[in-house]
């Protein structure tokens, strides 16, 4: 029987992060093909983790640097192994290759970590981002992981371009797979709260993710003052999981800068808001907060980094501005102008329906998995770089892991 093993960097938290939502979309995809699924992770499960057993998925805790995984995966004998981020492929890919050589190995990058890290470093140094920041040590590990895998899922067209043109990765190792979302129907749109029924601004994002915390600081220190000056009665409601003390201390009711913590229902809070603010200054991948906003009819103001890979040739569901003054002015304009607001809202629905159509991408992924499975031996033969990297990984990582395992026994 066909069986999918997903090795998670963390347990999925769809209420906390876009990565959690992405993982659930992949899980539902495999379920639509009637694959039994086992989800395994070495991570400690938090209270925000989705209980996968409620949708019929077997949950297994696994250990790093422990031969118990070898016995586990050999007995399970999965047809497909999906690695959640390159770090899991590094840790467990060589073990899967040894114990289940015929299993299709798929890497879901989530976003390019080397791109995110490079942009963050350039931001901290106050310098323009270029290839000197992109070609970092994380890139060496991440690109090696892509080569060792039979197929890598890339969430953004911008990242596909970087991989193909900057790193020269063969396109047959990659598949563009963004968020897979349901089509927004006219009847759904008609039920959404109207302009006059919505109030205040919203910003949302997991606070463990550095770009999100930085965006909140940017709002606090610069942008919100410019907006509040023009809209003295407006409030900014900031949602996100894992709000630490340094986040909560930014709360100021007098300024209308309100830290709300985890949103139990992102759709509800997004539909209550009039405008979403996403001043992301570094990062990578697609921004789940913008997806949530478009799905719920909430126009946005974001930055070039925030908008990357999102809109293609379609009109934006708001504005893309990088200067503080322009960002604030567009936010105020959206907040006050109902006709403009309605126009931008419709743009968002079009973007979701045309660029992130779930059925379209599910069919494409199913086809590519089938084709890759049938041609697996030839594909691996033609990927000499991947063979070479797997050979050295099997040697170096294997013996380092065994050393750690023995050390832990002492």
pTM over 0.85: yes
127 and 142 both lie in a single domain: yes
322 and 378 both lie in a single domain: no
Q: Is pLDDT of 406 > 90? A: no
Q: Of the candidates 327, 355, 383, which is a domain's last residue? A: 355
Q: State residue 5's pLDDT score.
A: 98
Q: Is pLDDT of 294 > 80? A: yes
pLDDT in tens, 345-378: 999 999 999 999 999 999 999 999 999 999 999 9
Read off the CATH number of the domain in which 305 is found: 3.40.50.2000
382 and 340 both lie in a single domain: no
215 and 345 both lie in a single domain: yes
Q: Of the candidates 334, 355, 376, which is a domain's last residue? A: 355
Q: State residue 197's pLDDT score.
A: 97
Q: State residue 405's pLDDT score.
A: 72
Q: Is pLDDT of 295 > 90? A: yes
Q: Is pLDDT of 403 > 80? A: no
Mean pLDDT of the region 194-203? 98
Give the rounded percent of residues in the chain with a pLDDT score beyond 90: 92
Mean pLDDT of the region 71-97? 96
Mean pLDDT of the region 277-302? 97
Q: State residue 1's pLDDT score.
A: 73
347 and 253 both lie in a single domain: yes
145 and 13 both lie in a single domain: yes
Mean pLDDT of the region 133-160? 97
Q: How confident is the model at residue 50 (pLDDT cuts 50, 70, 90)?
A: very high
CB-based contacts of 303, cutoff 8 Å, min separation 6: 278, 279, 280, 281, 320, 321, 322, 327
Q: Tell me the residue range of the domain where 389 lies.
A: 4-180+358-409
Split into its structural domains, the chain has a count of: 2
Q: State residue 394's pLDDT score.
A: 62
Mean pLDDT of the region 229-240? 97
Q: State residue 408's pLDDT score.
A: 73
100 and 156 both lie in a single domain: yes
Q: Is pLDDT of 401 > 90? A: no
Q: State residue 391's pLDDT score.
A: 79
Q: Is pLDDT of 395 > 80? A: no
Between CA 85 and CA 65 the distance in angstroms is 18
Q: State residue 400's pLDDT score.
A: 67
Q: State residue 24's pLDDT score.
A: 97
190 and 307 both lie in a single domain: yes
21 and 90 both lie in a single domain: yes
240 and 363 both lie in a single domain: no
336 vs 395, higher pLDDT = 336
70 and 211 both lie in a single domain: no
39 and 144 both lie in a single domain: yes
Mean pLDDT of the region 382-407? 76
């Amino acid at each position: 029987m066909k069986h999918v093993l997903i090795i998670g960097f963390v347990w999925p938290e769809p209420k906390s992060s876009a990565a959690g939502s992405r993982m659930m979309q992949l899980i539902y995809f495999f379920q639509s093909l009637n694959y039994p699924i086992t989800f395994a992770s070495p991570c400690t499960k938090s209270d925000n983790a989705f209980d996968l057993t409620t949708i019929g998925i077997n949950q297994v805790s696994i250990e790093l640097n422990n031969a118990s995984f070898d016995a586990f995966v050999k007995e399970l004998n999965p047809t497909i192994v999906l690695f959640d981020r390159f770090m899991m492929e590094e840790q467990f890919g060589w073990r899967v290759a040894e114990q289940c050589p015929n299993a299709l190995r798929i890497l879901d990058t989530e976003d390019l970590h080397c791109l995110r890290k490079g942009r963050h470093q350039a931001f901290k140094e106050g310098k323009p981002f270029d290839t000197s920041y992109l070609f970092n040590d994380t890139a060496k590990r991440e690109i090696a992981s892509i080569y060792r895998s039979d197929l890598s899922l890339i969430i953004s067209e911008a990242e596909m371009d970087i991989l193909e043109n900057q790193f020269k990765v063969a396109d047959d190792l990659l598949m563009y797979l963004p968020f897979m979302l349901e089509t927004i129907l006219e009847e759904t749109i008609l039920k959404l709260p109207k302009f006059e029924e919505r109030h205040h601004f919203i910003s949302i994002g997991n606070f463990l993710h550095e770009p999100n915390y930085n965006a909140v600081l940017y709002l606090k220190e610069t942008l919100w003052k410019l907006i509040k000056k023009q809209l003295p009665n407006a409030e900014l409601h900031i949602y996100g999981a894992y709000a630490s003390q340094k986040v909560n201390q930014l709360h100021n009711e007098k300024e209308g800068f309100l830290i709300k913590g985890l949103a139990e229902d992102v759709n509800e809070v997004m539909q209550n808001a009039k405008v979403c603010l996403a001043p992301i200054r570094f990062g990578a991948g697609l921004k789940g907060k913008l997806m949530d906003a478009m799905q719920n009819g909430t126009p946005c103001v974001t930055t070039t980094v925030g908008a990357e890979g999102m809109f293609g040739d379609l009109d934006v569901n708001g504005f893309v501005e990088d200067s503080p003054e322009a960002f604030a002015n567009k936010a105020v304009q959206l907040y006050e102008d109902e006709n403009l607001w309605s126009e931008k809202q419709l743009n968002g629905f079009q973007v979701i329906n045309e660029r992130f159509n779930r059925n379209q991408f599910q069919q494409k992924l199913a086809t590519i998995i089938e084709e890759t499975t049938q041609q697996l031996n030839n594909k691996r033969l033609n990927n000499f770089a991947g063979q070479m990297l797997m050979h050295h990984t099997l040697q170096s990582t294997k013996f380092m892991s065994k050393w750690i395992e023995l050390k832990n026994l002492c």
